[in-house]
């Protein structure tokens, strides 16, 4: 199949293998090279980069990444794609495919050097994958992911907004989050029922707040969004084993209202509260 474009080659191979996409694995493929090239332009991936791709599928984006990056490792869960990926990536010496669950694999060990993540994510793993990219301590420089538009909006939500949630707080603690493009269902095969968005998370070298004890701050964020209808004082006493009185005092000494709800707090306020709980 030399000389045939990667998009067409993927279609021919999927047909030849009589491949049926698995909805449960979030298999909505992007086979349009023009669209993928535009997304990769937005990502800024270049010849110095080592790139981790989650879920290469039929490998069209993997081919395009291989032409741009120094090295590409693609982690795919579905073994049925092995013969297709083998043919698609023949001759691409800088690509390695690892068959594993990206949520369980040690991605830092697989990469072995600082890396960037690029993926048309299976949507069912979005929140877990983002938390893993951000909180694992892997040397990740940036994350460029296709997600459901609704998930993108959640990660972009600001304190006080209805969608402000743990995922948004974590994303914005670790990274500058930007929506780069909206992508309609028609771009995918098969088409999902929702709009999608290509999101950038540029990991900070200097985070926007610097809690004295990061682990405590992260626990506090989880507690803050744990039970939305309860006050933060209640969540604090449940999660940190504080008496109601001690929880209220911690809030007051951080300059917060004793009846405040966690989901109303900014990152700065969570940081102040964490530092006041020494
Ligand atoms: N990158 C391809 C494309 O754009 O056409 C495929 C994207 S498709 C939305 C998601 C891919 O992730 C599928 O190939 C699916 O099999 C794979 N996948 C699903 N769950 C996974 C997991 N836990 N770890 C790694 N890959 C997974």
| Ligand 1 touching residue 126 (CB < 6 A) | no
CA–CA separation, 218 vs 254, rounded Å?
A: 17
Q: 3-class secondary structure for 227-266?
A: CCCCCHHHHHHHHHCCCHHHHHHHHHHCCCCCCCCHHHCC
CA of 175 to the centre of ligand 1 (A): 24
| Ligand 1 touching residue 27 (CB < 6 A) | yes
* Residue closest to 186 by CA, chosen among 173, 177, 178, 195: 195
Q: How far is CA 249 from CA 233, 245, 264, 273, in A?
A: 9, 6, 18, 10
The predicted pLDDT at position 261 comes to 87
The predicted pLDDT at position 277 comes to 86
The predicted pLDDT at position 262 comes to 85
The predicted pLDDT at position 101 comes to 98
Flag whether 28 is marked binding.
yes
Instruction: Average the pLDDT over each of 2-6, 97-101, 139-143, 244-248 and give the range with the smallest value.
Output: 2-6
The predicted pLDDT at position 73 comes to 98
The predicted pLDDT at position 230 comes to 83
Q: Of the residues 9, 21, 23, 57, which should be mutated to test ligand 1's pocket, given the most ligand atoms within 8 Å of the CB?
A: 57
Asked if the model's pLDDT at residue 17 lies above 80, the reply is yes
Q: Which tens digits make up the pLDDT trace of 55-97?
A: 999 999 999 999 999 999 999 999 999 999 999 999 999 999 9
CA–CA separation, 129 vs 122, rounded Å?
A: 10
Instruction: Average the pLDDT over each of 19-28, 58-67, 116-125, 260-269 and give the range with the smallest value.
Output: 260-269
CA–CA separation, 102 vs 272, rounded Å?
A: 35
Question: For residue 126, how many C-alpha atoms fall within 13 Å in the half-sphere facing its CB?
Answer: 23
Q: Which atom of ligand 1 is found nearest the CA of 101?
A: 24
Kindly report the protein residue whose alpha carbon is nearest to atom 5 of ligand 1: 29
Instruction: Supply 13's token pair.
Output: 């191979």
CA of 102 to the centre of ligand 1 (A): 9
| Ligand 1 touching residue 269 (CB < 6 A) | no
Flag whether 120 is marked binding.
yes
Flag whether 76 is marked binding.
yes
CA of 128 to the centre of ligand 1 (A): 14
Flag whether 108 is marked binding.
no
CA of 54 to the centre of ligand 1 (A): 6
Asked if the model's pLDDT at residue 252 lies above 90, the reply is yes
Q: What integer is the mean pLDDT of 107-129? A: 97
Q: Which tens digits make up the pLDDT trace of 205-248?
A: 999 999 999 999 999 999 898 877 788 898 888 889 889 899 99
The predicted pLDDT at position 117 comes to 98
Asked if the model's pLDDT at residue 2 lies above 70, the reply is no
The predicted pLDDT at position 78 comes to 98
Q: Which atom of ligand 1 is found nearest the CA of 105?
A: 24
Kindly report the protein residue whose alpha carbon is nearest to atom 14 of ligand 1: 57
Phi and psi at residue 261, in whole multiples of 5°?
-100, 145
Q: What integer is the mean pLDDT of 245-271? A: 92
The predicted pLDDT at position 1 comes to 64
CA of 168 to the centre of ligand 1 (A): 23
| Ligand 1 touching residue 62 (CB < 6 A) | no
Q: Which tens digits make up the pLDDT trace of 154-171?
A: 999 999 899 999 999 999
Q: Which tens digits make up the pLDDT trace of 33-63?
A: 999 999 999 999 999 999 999 999 999 999 9
Q: What is the pTM (predicted TM-score) of this model?
A: 0.95
- Please state, rounded to an integer, the average pLDDT across all residues of the chain: 95
Q: Report whether 53 contacts 72 (CB < 8 A).
A: yes
């Amino acid at each position: 199949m030399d000389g045939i474009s990667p998009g067409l080659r993927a279609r021919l191979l999927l047909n030849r293998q009589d491949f049926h996409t698995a909805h449960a694995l979030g298999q909505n493929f992007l086979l349009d090279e023009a669209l993928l090239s535009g997304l990769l332009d937005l990502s800024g991936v270049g010849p110095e980069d080592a790139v981790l791709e989650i879920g290469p599928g039929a490998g069209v984006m993997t081919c395009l990444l291989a032409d741009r990056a120094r090295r590409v490792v693609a982690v795919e869960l579905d073994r049925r794609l092995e013969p297709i990926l083998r043919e698609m990536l023949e001759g691409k010496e800088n690509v390695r495919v690892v068959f594993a669950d990206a949520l369980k694999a040690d991605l830092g060990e697989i990469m072995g050097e600082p890396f960037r993540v690029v993926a048309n994510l299976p949507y069912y793993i979005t929140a877990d994958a983002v938390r893993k990219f951000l909180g694992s301590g892997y040397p990740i420089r940036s994350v460029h992911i296709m997600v459901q538009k609704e998930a993108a909006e959640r990660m972009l939500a600001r304190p006080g907004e209805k969608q402000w949630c743990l995922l948004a707080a974590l994303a914005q603690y670790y990274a500058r989050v930007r929506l780069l493009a909206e992508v309609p269902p028609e771009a995918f095969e098969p088409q999902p029922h929702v709009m999608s968005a290509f999101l950038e998370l540029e990991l900070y070298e200097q985070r926007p707040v610097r809690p004295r004890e990061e682990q405590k701050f992260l626990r506090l964020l989880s507690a803050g969004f744990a039970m939305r209808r309860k006050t933060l004082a209640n969540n604090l006493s449940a999660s940190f084993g504080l008496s109601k009185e001690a929880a209220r005092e911690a809030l007051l000494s951080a300059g917060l209202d004793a009846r405040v709800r966690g989901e109303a707090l900014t990152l700065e306020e969570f940081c102040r509260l964490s530092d006041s709980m020494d």
